[in-house]
Amino acid sequence: MKNLSIGILKTDTVRESLSPEFGEYPDMFIRLLKETDAELNFVTYDVEHQEYPNNINEVDAYLITGSKYSVYDNEPWIIALTEFVRELHREHKKLIGICFGHQMVAHALGGRVDKSSKGWGLGVSESALTSPESWSTGDNKFNLLMSHQDQVTAQPENARVIASTKFCPILACQLGDHVLTFQGHPEFDKSYYRALMEVRRERLGDELYFQALEGAKKPIDNPKIAQWIVNFLKKE
């Protein structure tokens, strides 16, 4: 059996001051997922700059990264990505969405995304799958770092909400056997998260900044989520 190949759809660039230490977002996902399966292959497509595969079957599956942008921004590259997600769905290509990617899937496939009236989601979110899934291992509980203002407020038709919190009722979704999305960031380690919050401190204000750092002290389950993602992508 050939090794699984994943196309990473890059939707943002890491701050110039942080990239020398932490790399770009695809680098973070590659590190995360290769710790689960060292045989995985990756190709990065910089969709923010309209770079796409010549054929959707160039790779076995796709993953949409997080981004500072909103899926409802009227940017040409976001409109193009929306159409590409619809094509992937029509062809039942395996697709993972993380943060902006989670929201993009909802936006493209008939759901809804809004800026939350609750404000920023920061720190570690504690949640659990509503029930065991065919691809889940271990217990259903999981903790992920969060950094978002937008939220999915209505899931796509036929999508199941598989995890929820009071702050973020649509925390994770599955659509059929080919789409899996999470609002949280399994690719963020705590050192990057602290550095990102420091960069955003002026924008957040001191109160939210310190709340974010305090909230990030809880343990996180990045390896568990990575295993779930790999299991989902490999499942026939």
Q: Which residues contact 88 (CB under 8 A, 6 or more apart)?
A: 56, 62, 95
What is the spatial distance between Cα 51 and Cα 49, in angstroms, rounded to a whole number?
Answer: 6
Q: Concatenate the DSSP letters of all residues of 178-198 into one string.
A: TEEEESSBTT--HHHHHHHHH
- Is 208:198 a contact under the CB 8 Å cutoff? no
- Tokens 């062809």 belong to residue: 91
Question: Interior CA angle at 113 toward 98 and 195, to 5°?
Answer: 45
- H or E stretch at 6: strand 5-10
Residue pointed to by tokens 């993972």: 96
- Alpha-carbon distance of 164 to 172, in angstroms, equals 7
CA distance linking residue 179 with residue 46, whole number of Å: 21
Q: What is d(CA 196, CA 236) in angstroms, rounded to the nearest whole number?
A: 37
Closest CA to 226 of 142, 166, 165: 142
Contact 145, 185 (CB under 8 A): yes
Exactly one of 99, 107, 148, 173 is catalytic; name it. 99
Residue 99 annotated to the active site: yes
Annotated active-site positions, please? 99, 185, 187
